Amino acid sequence: MRAYGRRHRRWSRRNPQPLLLVPDEPLTLVVLAAIGRTLFRYRSELAPVFLALVLIVTGSVLHHTRPDAWPLVAVVTVLAGTVVAVRGWPWGLTRTAERAYAAITTAFSGGWLTTVTALGPTRSPLPTILFLAVIALGVPWWAHRRRRARVRVDRVINAWPNLAEMIGLAGSRIMSAVVDTWGWRARIKLRPGQSVTDLVARVPAIESALGTRPGAVRIEQDPAHAGRCTMRVLAMDPHAGAIPWPGPTARTLADPIELGVFEDATPVQVAMLRRHALIGGTTDSGKSGVLNVILGNLAACTDVVLWGIDLKGGMELRPWASCLARLATTPDEATDLLADAVAILDARAHASSHDNTRVWEPTPKAPALVIVIDEYAELADTAPDAVGHAESVARRGRAVAVDLLAATQRPTQKAMGGGALRSQMSIRVCLRVRERRDVDLILDKGMLADGWHAYTLDAPGKFYVLADGHNQPRRARAYLVTDDLVHQTAARYADQRPDLDPLSRAAIDNQLKPIEPPRPTADDPEQTLLTALDQAPADGLTVPELIDLTGMRRTWIYDRLQAHATAGRARQVTRGRWRA
């Protein structure tokens, strides 16, 4: 008996019996509920069939109760068709094709109902005509992209509670959704305790749950409520192609400049007056394109003088030479140019203090000064003396309308002079970057965590902008300015460029020129170093200048300076400057 029991248990484990779930409801109710759920799920696809059934039932009732009411039905049909064709009411249709389709459907439905009211629904060939009309008018309905998009959005809204729980956003819900040209957007209310940062961190999981392509989901904070946001899902990329530049939109520096368009087709407008700008991005990300858009607008302004620094031999800024009052292509020229800019802002500040005016208002006779620097990191490496002038302009130049526009690949603290200049940039344009940490370098700390994912930008000219009025991570694409447009624009506005005001010209002419550092000819580097320190000007010599004079390496210079400082033969005048 025990052996039989063991064999029976062993057989039961190897051959388990299926578990049968018997519903408490009758089978008929279960089937009807399943059919009802299916009809409700596919209610949009079955809309032509439902409309045909409604017409049949309504026509039968009218034919048996009020067969003489067909003139009234005809009049209502004409009025309804006219309203739909002209106003798109009550569905709010704005496209001509959609209005035409709705008007044709309304006219046919009303005409068929009028005929059925008078003759009856079974009169031949009315049933055949209705069947053919359902097929003919149903094909455009079934193939309509926006209708199918609305159906998908409705299904996402219904499934969102389950999706949110799977991706770690349980408790959030979709308040409303709208289908647009490129996809759809939804307003989401978060559970108390959740923030938009939680949503941004789960964007890849949201894209996986919705079944979209990578990079299709955008999250934007609701400025009026910390627990709400807008989720935008793009079915296709609105910035897949280049956007031609329509031409300059600014005529004075106070006018906003259009850099490009956002993904919702609204223009990206930034004001350059009394603001420094930084453009950052990796190679082939479109920095030159953004610079050309800004220069094209500034060239059309009659109240701004343009100076340029391009240490690549003028490769980038040379096409705009006819609109640039000065163009520096060597480190010495760049240093002199920035020194003159400091002299101008000093003179303007002195004049403003005497006139009791806090800001310099640009006019064609007293224009603003904008200094465009391409590849600022190259300037910091090859012209270290210019860095101090640039930082002085960045700190003090905005009130007197002396502004900087700098472009660089990676604005590290070393490249930007310890970060002092970068912190003064109130307009920041971030194009594609290779490393995630570069987002915080260009924009600001914490921007990567807030959703400014510039490392995902996949085409030249796509960018994020951080400026007044642009505090949300919205993708944009800059206008494409071709070489022909650059030459045409430069030639068009070359004769309209203003000159510096007399005060600024006098400041440049009257400033004291710096004393050239001595260049000893002794072959002994130690003696050369001592001679240079003895003959150094009052503000001392920089380490790069001592390297150039002695021909020795930086480590040797630092070791000898420390030794001479200990022996009392050298001292540090200011940070980085030495003399005897």
Measured CA to CA, the distance from residue 56 to residue 305 in angstroms comes to 76
Bridge partners, 571 (sequence order): 579
Measured CA to CA, the distance from residue 530 to residue 259 in angstroms comes to 53
Feature table: binding site for ATP = 281-288
Task: Report which secondary-structure segment, H or E, holds 341.
Answer: helix 331-355
Residue whose pair of structure tokens reads 């453009």 in the numeric block? 279
CB 291 within 8 A of CB 466: no
Measured CA to CA, the distance from residue 402 to residue 29 in angstroms comes to 79
Burial of residue 29 (number of CB atoms within 10 Å: 0-12, 13-18, 19+): exposed
Amino acid type, 3: A
Feature table: binding site = 281-288
DSSP state of 9: H
Amino acid type, 551: G
Reply yes or no: is the peptide bond before residue 90 cis, omega within 30 of 0. yes
Task: Report which secondary-structure segment, H or E, holds 489.
Answer: helix 483-493
- 137 contacts: CB under 8 Å, gap ≥ 6: 48, 101, 104, 105, 108
Measured CA to CA, the distance from residue 65 to residue 422 in angstroms comes to 82
**Could you tell me how far CA 437 lies from the centroid of its own chain?**
18
DSSP state of 445: T
For the chain, the residue count is 580
